[in-house]
Amino acid sequence: MASITLNHVAKHFGNKVAISDIDMKVEDGEFLVLLGPSGCGKSTLLRMLAGLETATSGEIHVGGRRVDQLPPSARDMAFVFQSYALYPHMSVRRNIAFPLIMRQFKWWFHIPLLGGLAKRRIERSPAVSELVEKTARTLSLTEMLDRYPRTLSGGQRQRVALGRAMVRQPEVFLMDEPLSNLDAKLRSAMRAEITRLHQRVGGTFVYVTHDQVEAMTMGTRIALMRDGVIQQFGTPREIYTSPANTYVARFIGTPPMNLIEGRVDAGMIKLGEANLPLPQALAAAGREAGRDPVLLGIRPNALTLAASGGQGQLAGTVSLVEHVGAESVVAVKLSHAATAHDEEGAVAGEIMITTQGYSELKAGDPVSVVLDLSEAVLFSRSTGEQLRAGLALAA
């Protein structure tokens, strides 16, 4: 019942546009990841969903109910903060019970002593205490219920923050980079824990991160954002295999997708000196470009290295070899073909290739690159958009 619909949602801070005109529909039970570099507007979008920021224009509906003018507490959403935002003066038990206490809050709870007694009564009432205990058990926090946040480790604090969100049994969970303050090992453990939480409690999750690994592993849907605009909205697989534009192509994957300049002509693509036949689907897409230059997008693992030059291979020299354990990343400077590079500054004319095992290559070695075009994609060089064969086929 908790699908989320955004209609033309925009947010301006003065003259600055943080979010421009976003339309999106997230189905009930999805795990949506808002992915993008810092400053892309993903946190702002999340905070608008929560009601911590008001949308400049547009509508937000949750489960058919319009919420964009409701205060945060009336939206039936839970929010997990990057800094956890635990209440330092309350025990773990009180932190988790707090949203439930607030549901029965009366103004006279502010009176010292009297209010304290009333709050404790609510906290100890069977309905509340059972829910708190159950939540704590789920998150293995039972032993820590009477401790205070400052005595907990980072991972434990994170779990308390999750508990405070879970106990409300909301329709929507919102999370703002909840793992970024944890060390690498703990982070992957908590990643799995949140995924399990999603499977167990259900509900719709919206999760903000700048970490593509979190996005790929946790999300059922990813919205990749840049400068307040959604670049692509799709499943992790779609985003990986069929990036909507060169920005998405370069953002996802380590090392990122190679973009080699070329021209399509009669089912063949000409990359520098080499001329390669395109698979049928790509050839159809290539026709959309006509005589315009295109960019061939190909993942580093679809490339292999051969010792000597052959038909349909790209000649080059090794410029750098990095050993990452199970595989090696080889940077090759192409002799004839040019490559596109993004603002992160890949060196012009260089492509990245991953090879299994420990590569014996050294910088300066001449090599020949073999391309497997079965999973490659084509982009228009002028617009950066992916070329797809005919609208009918794409739909």
Residues that bind other proteins (CB under 8 A): 50-52, 57, 59, 66, 68-74, 77-79, 81-89, 98-99, 102-103, 105, 109-110, 164, 168
Nearer to other proteins, 210 or 250 (CB): 210
Q: Which is nearer to other proteins, 66 or 336 (CB)?
A: 66
Give the C-alpha separation, 390 to 284, whole Å. 8
We find the least distance from the C-beta atom of residue 159 to other proteins, in angstroms, to be 15
For 391, the 3-state DSSP assignment is helix
Minimum CB distance to other proteins, residue 86 (Å): 8
Nearer to other proteins, 125 or 335 (CB): 125
Helix pair 92-103, 126-138: axis angle to 10 deg:
130
Residue 50 Cβ, how far from other proteins at the closest point, in Å? 6
Peptide bond into 255 cis (omega under 30): yes
CB of 72 vs other proteins, minimal distance in Å? 5
Distance CA 139, CA 145 (A): 11
Distance CA 216, CA 208 (A): 12
Query: Alpha-carbon distance 50 to 48, whole Å?
Result: 5
Q: Which is nearer to other proteins, 162 or 248 (CB)?
A: 162
8 A C-beta contact, residue 17 and residue 229: no
d(CA 375, CA 379): 13
- Decide whether 57 or 356 has the Cβ nearer to other proteins: 57
Least separation in angstroms between CB 38 and other proteins: 17
The smaller minimum CB distance to other proteins, of residues 136 and 305, is found at: 136
By beta-carbon proximity to other proteins, the closer residue of 33 and 96 is: 96
CB of 91 to other proteins, least distance (A): 12
Compute the distance between CA of residue 282 and CA of residue 269 in angstroms, rounded to an integer.
10
Phi, then psi, of 221 in degrees rounded to 5: -135, 145
With 0-12 CB in 10 A as exposed, 13-18 as middle and 19+ as buried, what is 89? exposed
How far is 224 from 222, CA to CA, in rounded Å? Answer: 6
The Cα–Cα gap between 378 and 258 comes to 11
**Minimal distance, residue 119 CB to other proteins, in Å:** 9
What is the token pair recorded at 317?
Answer: 């020299």
Strand-pair category, 221-226 with 229-234: antiparallel
Residue 175 vs 303, nearer CB to other proteins: 175
State the minimum distance, in angstroms, from the CB of residue 57 to other proteins.
Answer: 7
